[in-house]
Amino acid sequence: MRNLGFIFRDIRMDKGYSLKDIADGILSVSFLSKFERGDSDISLSKFYLLLERLNMTLDEFSFISNDYNLTQVETLMKNVRNAYENNNINLLYKLEQEEIYMWKKYNLSNHRYNSIMIRALAYDLNKQLELNQEDITLLNEYLFKVENWGFYETMLFGNSMSILSIDSIIIFSKEILIKTQLYSRIRKNKEKLIRVLLNTIFYCIESKRPLSALHFIISVEKILERHSDLYFEKVKLLYLNGIYKIISGNSNVGIDMSNKAIQIMNALGDINAVNNHEIYLMGKIEFLNKTSRVLII
The C-alpha atoms of residue 23 and residue 73 are separated, in whole angstroms, by 33
226-283 confidence digits (pLDDT tens)? 888 899 999 999 999 999 999 999 999 999 999 999 999 999 999 999 999 999 999 9
Instruction: Please check whether residue 142 lies inside any domain of the structure.
Output: no
DSSP 8-state symbol, 181 = G
Q: Which of 65, 95, 113 is the last residue of a domain?
A: 65
Give the number of other CB atoms < 10 A from CB of residue 150.
15
Q: Which of 50, 65, 80 is the last residue of a domain?
A: 65
Instruction: Please check whether residue 123 lies inside any domain of the structure.
Output: no
Please state which of the ranges 56-60, 199-203, 211-215, 235-239 shows the lowest mean pLDDT.
56-60
pLDDT over 80 at 294, yes or no: no
pLDDT over 80 at 1, yes or no: no
**H/E run at residue 23:** helix 19-23
How distant, in Å, are the alpha carbons of 114, 172, 195, 199, 227 from that of 159?
A: 10, 13, 10, 9, 23
Per-residue pLDDT, 2: 67
- pLDDT range class, residue 290, cuts 50, 70, 90: low
91-117 confidence digits (pLDDT tens)? 999 999 999 999 999 999 999 999 999
Q: Which of 23, 39, 65 is the last residue of a domain?
A: 65
The C-alpha atoms of residue 164 and residue 140 are separated, in whole angstroms, by 8
* CATH for 19: 1.10.260.40
Per-residue pLDDT, 12: 93
DSSP 8-state symbol, 186 = S
pLDDT over 60 at 291, yes or no: no
Instruction: Please check whether residue 175 lies inside any domain of the structure.
Output: no
The total domain count for the chain is 2
- pLDDT range class, residue 154, cuts 50, 70, 90: very high
Percent of the chain with pLDDT over 70: 97
- pLDDT range class, residue 297, cuts 50, 70, 90: very low
Instruction: Please check whether residue 84 lies inside any domain of the structure.
Output: no
Given CA atoms 258, 278, 244, 229 in this order, what sign does their dihedral have? negative
Instruction: Please check whether residue 159 lies inside any domain of the structure.
Output: no
Percent of the chain with pLDDT over 90: 83
Per-residue pLDDT, 219: 96
How distant, in Å, are the alpha carbons of 23, 54, 57, 67 from that of 27?
A: 5, 14, 19, 27
- Mean pLDDT throughout 31-58? 93
The full length of the chain comes to 297
- pLDDT range class, residue 295, cuts 50, 70, 90: very low
pLDDT over 90 at 72, yes or no: no
Instruction: Please check whether residue 251 lies inside any domain of the structure.
Output: yes
Mean pLDDT (the chain, rounded): 92
Task: Tell me which residue range forms the domain holding 49.
Answer: 4-65
Per-residue pLDDT, 292: 44
The C-alpha atoms of residue 26 and residue 129 are separated, in whole angstroms, by 56
- Mean pLDDT throughout 162-175? 97
